[in-house]
Structure 1
Amino acid sequence: MPDSTATLARVTELLRRHPLVDGHNDLPWEAREQSGYDFDRLDLGGDVATTCTDVPRLRAGRVGAQFWSVFVPSSLQGDAAVVATLEQVDAVHQMVGRYAGELGFARTADEVEGVFASGRIASLMGAEGGHSIGCSLAALRMLYVLGVRYMTLTHNDNVPWADSATDEPVLGGLSAFGVEVVREMNRLGMLVDLSHVSADTMRDALKVTEVPVIFSHSSARAVCDVPRNVPDDVLTTLRANNGVCMVTFVPEFVSPVVAAWRREAAAAAADVGVKSTDYEAFRAFTREYRVAHPKPSATLEDVVAHCEHVREVAGIDHVGIGGDYDGTETYPVGLEDVSGYPRLLAALADRGWSDEDLAKLAGGNVLRVMRDVEAGARELQETRGPSLATYRQLDHPGS
């Protein structure tokens, strides 16, 4: 029987030397909803009962770097989505400034390691959904200028140029403008994030991209068969692309039992006119639905199974962690909040993962991808200027 105390001590020491880089945390949207970004009312410096994330628990979880999601619901479109995204970006800048003794802003892999070496938690940003740019490559470029370092191509709903995993397919992947979005992200040095997109969009993006991609918070479809997870053929292609799949902790995506419960909840919601892809409305619906239909629990072992499957299919160099804390209602037993990462790594260590393996999972792989994307951007910028293409020009010529 493994000595859990000794294993946790081993993992704690490893995370003192190697930054744990989580791919996705929705605290900024929670700050908007709970306090209007008022960090006097929602003081993250102490224990916060209404979120999964605060500074003390980030420290307990040995988090070295966090991609904060500047998510806005895909129910917002056009100018409203762009403005709300800018408000989210501003909130992250305000948050990092407010807790400057604990958090430090980072835009590159070197800056992540520099902030980590200073004893603070490196803070990066990722935009969750192409609706955040309003079909404008200029808006994409300005998000990059403001520090956003990945964009998830879709959220729960299709965008005009890419199909989502949880919407009805329209394009069968990427449109011509969607291809140009990926190419411009490559040129900028912004990570292409394929969480939330349809499998065909994943495949199209992997054909188009000139640098590695990420899945910021997705798990393995072979282990839990839901559209938000990554099929094995895509994981195999990801190995050739040299990208990384950051395994998420969302119970509906890691446990087949919880996934079945969600399908039942989605059917019940549809009966009363609530779409399961409507982030806010479905979240409110399931809070009530759970009273009469208790939600099953996922476990830490469920997440372990996804980490091991991604490792088996894509390889140890292509697996990471993207918890999606504060982005859903419940979390697996043992991973209830951001303090739980060492328990996950300890469970993997007990299954034979070496320190080198664990360091790659924790952050080494995504830092490698960031460096590859940064280097690729420098090369592309030598031969290619900013794209002047427009959605209308590429997808609706002559209109």
Structure 2
Amino acid sequence: MNVLHRRAVVADLHNDLLCAVVARPVDRWAGFFRERWLPQLRAGGVNLQVLPVFVEDPYRPEGALRRTLRMIEAAHRLAAGNKDAVALCADGAEIDRALAVGRIALVLALESAPGVGEDVELLETLFRLGVRIASLAHFGRTALADGSGEDGTGGRLTRAGVAALAEMERLGMLLDVSHLGAAGVEHVLELASRPVLATHSAARALFDHHRNLTDEQIRGVAGGGGVVCVNFFAPYLHENDYTVDRLVDHIEHIVGVAGVEHVGLGPDFIKEVLADTTPPCCERTLVEGVPADAYLPGLTGPAGLPLVTEALQRRGWRDDDIVAVLGGNVLRLFHAGLGRPAAV
């Protein structure tokens, strides 16, 4: 492994591996993680892994809360079954303790929070269960906000969405603007009194896709002390040139807009997750109309992460700046706000 990459704290802000874990029998959750995912995380040098709780469409809305709780339970069980290798962490101090003994720090995040709906008080329940990051929407509309796929509506946060943001800030749960519609991002940046982050978003200035952030949005996240973590999903980076260089173009653009201290990595490795959770059939799996088997060569899973470090080195980046983007910036944000209630 690259020497600098090994020295850095590497933080991956979005890997849907929990979806693959819960597809196994309950008694296999911990073992499946150890056999299938732990070697990949180790090979990629991952020290800090955010685990999204993503509820697939068939579970929405009726089964969303049950599915949410089951995925959270899976995270707790895989952590309990692999105590020598990972630790589920609630704040910066717990992350530090995990890293100090060579464990991978795991942090739970809600992606879209369909299990909450308008019952914003459930955020405190989920906080007690270890959730420390949440977004308000996916591609479509929720009780809290419109996702980026609904940008044509101009929808901002709903009344419940505004209450959810306030509750998250009170608890010490970070708000994630990835997937949020453009007007919703603007609304969040108007209201937020604490830093927010984007767990997996690329630059719209380089590729005009609704899942990407505009320069103004990027500046807004950075201006509030947050971090924009760059998505690796190839169809959001370029029309057809699916290469590591195009990924680095997005990283460098966001650094130029936000400053190097406000950029991180949010790979969104879905190839293996889709293979594990989608039944084989005669049609290609699509994500928002884009074939989901379009990936960056070498970056289809965590083991490829050292390629990013090497690409940044080839571009002439300073070591300290590479280390910051690989995970130092996210670690700083987590120390400052993760699990830390707002001052009264």
> Does the alignment reach a TM-score above 0.5?
yes
CA displacement at 1:76 relative to structure 2? 3.1
1:91 & 1:13 partners in 2: Cα distance? 29
Q: Does 1:39 align with 2:28?
A: yes
Letter matched to residue 127 of structure 1: L
Q: 2:7 aligns to what?
A: 14
CA shift, 1:320, in A, is 0.4
Structure 2 unaligned spans of 5+: 275-291
1:360 aligns with 2:324: yes
Counterparts of 1:58 and 1:317 in 2: how far apart (Å)?
24
Structure with higher Rg: it is 1
CA separation of 1:173/1:378 partners in 2, compared to 1, >3 Å: closer, same or farther?
Answer: closer
Cα shift readout 1:121-143 (whole Å, capped 9, x = no counterpart): 11111110031212212211111
Whole-angstrom distance in 2 between the partners of 1:175 and 1:40: 36
Segments of 5+ residues of structure 1 without an aligned counterpart are: 1-7, 49-53, 258-296, 383-399
| TM-score (structure 1 length as normaliser) | 0.77
TM-score by length of 2: 0.88
In 2, the alpha carbon distance for the partners of 1:87 and 1:164 equals 24
Contact 1:156 1:165 in 2 (8 A): yes
| Offset at residue 36 of structure 1 (A) | 3.7
Q: For 2:14, what is the secondary structure of its paired residue?
A: strand
Residue 297 of structure 2 corresponds to which residue in structure 1? 333
Paired with 1:242 and 1:137, the residues of 2 have a C-alpha distance of 25
* Secondary structure of the corresponding residue to residue 132 of structure 1: coil
Residues in 2 aligned to 1:196 and 1:14: alpha-carbon distance in whole angstroms: 32
Correspondence 1:310 to 2:254: yes
- 8 Å CA contact 2:269, 2:302 repeated in 1: yes
Separation (CA, whole Å) in 2 of partners of 1:74 and 1:149: 23
How far off is 1:376 after superposition?
A: 6.6
Paired residue secondary structure (2:316): coil
CA contact (8 A) 2:65 2:114 kept: yes
1:180 equivalent in structure 2 = 163
| Match of residue 24 from structure 1 | 14
- Percent identity of the aligned residues? 31
Specify which structure has the higher proportion of helix: 1
- Flag the 1:125–1:40 CA change in 2: closer, same or farther, 3 A: closer
Q: Which residue of 1 aligns with 2:197?
A: 214
Partner of 2:130: 147
Aligned length: 324
How far is 1:303 from its partner?
1.0
Distance 1:127 1:38 in 2: 24
Runs of 4+ in 1 over 4 A off after TM superposition: 168-171
CA shift, 1:235, in A, is 0.9
Structure 2: distance between partners of 1:98 and 1:374: 24
CA distance 1:239–1:140, shift in 2 (3 Å)? same
Asked whether the equivalents of residues 39 and 95 of structure 1 are also in contact (C-alpha less than 8 Å), the reply is no
Report the RMSD for the aligned CA atoms in angstroms: 2.0
The corresponding residue for 1:386 is none
Matches within 5 A, 1:111-260: 111-167=94-150, 169-170=152-153, 172-257=155-240
Equivalent position of 1:372 in the other structure: 336
Q: Cα distance 1:367–1:12, how it changes in 2: closer, same or farther (>3 A)?
A: closer
Q: What secondary structure sits across from 1:24 in the alignment?
A: coil
* Per-residue deviation, 1:167: 2.7
